[in-house]
């Protein structure tokens, strides 16, 4: 299977970024640093993590039955809301800039890492390879409630970034719709990807944050080991990589 890969610079080092490899990948000699995201190839050089893989090849009713009882209840309630869903299969630069601003506002509230300039460059490179699906759900009055950005490639998709709006800033009549927006959009996207012939959806890394872990597990699927991190291919890049890790 063709491996999704982009080339860029990180810390002024030539870097190759490889996503969800299923076999050993050929790396260019000119690349001093190789970054893997959710590789399925075990490696002692990479950090082993857990992720949830949801198969998309079964019947819709079977996938629905695999959801947690609470998810099924919330999705039934979500059907009562007049959501507007927008799928950007080829996001424009403006689409991505709006998403970045929305996500960074969300990240500030949650005190998590924002989308930096270098991360945005990687997003743009992925978009140039037609490897992104940006989706948005709005309320009936046009208020953006949630964004999801997925990496899509070779019949596989992976959750990349997710952001919801600030519930405190919403008018009272939108308090209930935002409760279901993320689940509704995720389920909508799973069904869309299934219809498009995708076979697998990677929910992303399982963290130690119990609420996030429960959310990702609540959509069914199987827990698998994935391997992510940087591999330095020169002494200088290894030194710079060590410095960057020390700074963190």
Strand (E) positions, 40-141? 47-55, 84-88, 132-138
Question: pLDDT tens digits, residue range 196-247?
Answer: 999 999 999 998 889 899 999 999 999 999 999 888 765 544 555 553 443 4
Distance from C-alpha of 120 to C-alpha of 139, rounded to nearest angstrom: 27
- What number of other Cβ atoms are within 10 A of residue 182's Cβ? 20
Distance in angstroms (rounded) separating the CA atoms of residues 20 and 163: 23
Tell me how far CA of residue 77 lies from CA of 72, 80, 88, 178, 184, in angstroms. Answer: 9, 5, 25, 12, 10
Rounded CA-CA distance 120/108 in Å is 17
Q: What pLDDT is recorded for position 209? A: 87
Distance CA 244, CA 242 (A): 5
| Percentage above 70 pLDDT, the chain | 88
| Beta strands 47-55; 222-232: pairing state | antiparallel
Asked whether the beta carbons of 127 and 80 are under 8 A apart, the reply is no
Helix%, strand%, coil% for the chain, nearest 5: 40, 30, 30
Other residues' Cβ atoms within 10 Å of the Cβ of residue 103 = 19
Per-residue pLDDT reduced to its tens digit, 56-107: 999 999 999 999 999 999 999 999 999 999 999 999 999 999 999 999 999 9
Domains for the chain: give ranges and CATH numbers.
51-222 (3.40.630.30)
Region 176-188: mean pLDDT is: 91
pLDDT the model gives residue 22: 87
- Distance from C-alpha of 226 to C-alpha of 213, rounded to nearest angstrom: 16
- 3-state SS class at 30: coil
Task: Decide if 152 contacts 133 (C-beta within 8 A).
Answer: yes
Its pTM stands at: 0.90
């Amino acid at each position: 299977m063709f491996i999704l890969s982009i080339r860029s610079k990180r810390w002024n080092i030539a870097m190759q970024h490889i996503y969800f490899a299923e076999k050993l990948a050929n790396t260019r000699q000119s690349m001093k640093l190789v970054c893997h995201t959710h590789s399925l190839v075990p490696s002692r050089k990479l950090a082993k993590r857990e992720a949830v893989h949801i198969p998309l090849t079964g019947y819709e009713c079977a996938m629905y039955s695999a959801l947690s009882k609470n998810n099924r209840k919330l999705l039934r309630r979500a059907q009562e809301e007049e959501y507007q869903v927008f799928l950007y299969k080829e996001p424009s630069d403006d689409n991505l800039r709006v998403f970045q601003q929305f996500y960074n506002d969300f990240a500030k509230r949650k005190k998590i890492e924002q989308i930096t300039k270098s991360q945005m460059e990687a997003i743009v490179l992925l978009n140039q390879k037609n490897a992104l699906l940006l989706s948005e759900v709005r309320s009936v009055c046009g208020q953006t409630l949630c964004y999801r950005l997925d990496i899509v490639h070779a019949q596989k998709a992976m959750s990349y970034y997710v952001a919801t709006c600030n519930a405190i800033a919403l008018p009272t009549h939108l308090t209930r719709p935002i409760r279901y927006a993320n689940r509704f959009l995720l389920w909508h996207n799973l069904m869309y990807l299934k219809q498009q012939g995708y076979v697998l959806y990677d929910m992303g890394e399982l963290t130690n944050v119990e609420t996030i872990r429960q959310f990702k597990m609540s959509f069914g699927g199987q827990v698998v080991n994935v391997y992510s991190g940087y591999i330095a291919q020169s002494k200088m890049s290894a030194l710079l990589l060590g410095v960057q890790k020390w700074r963190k």
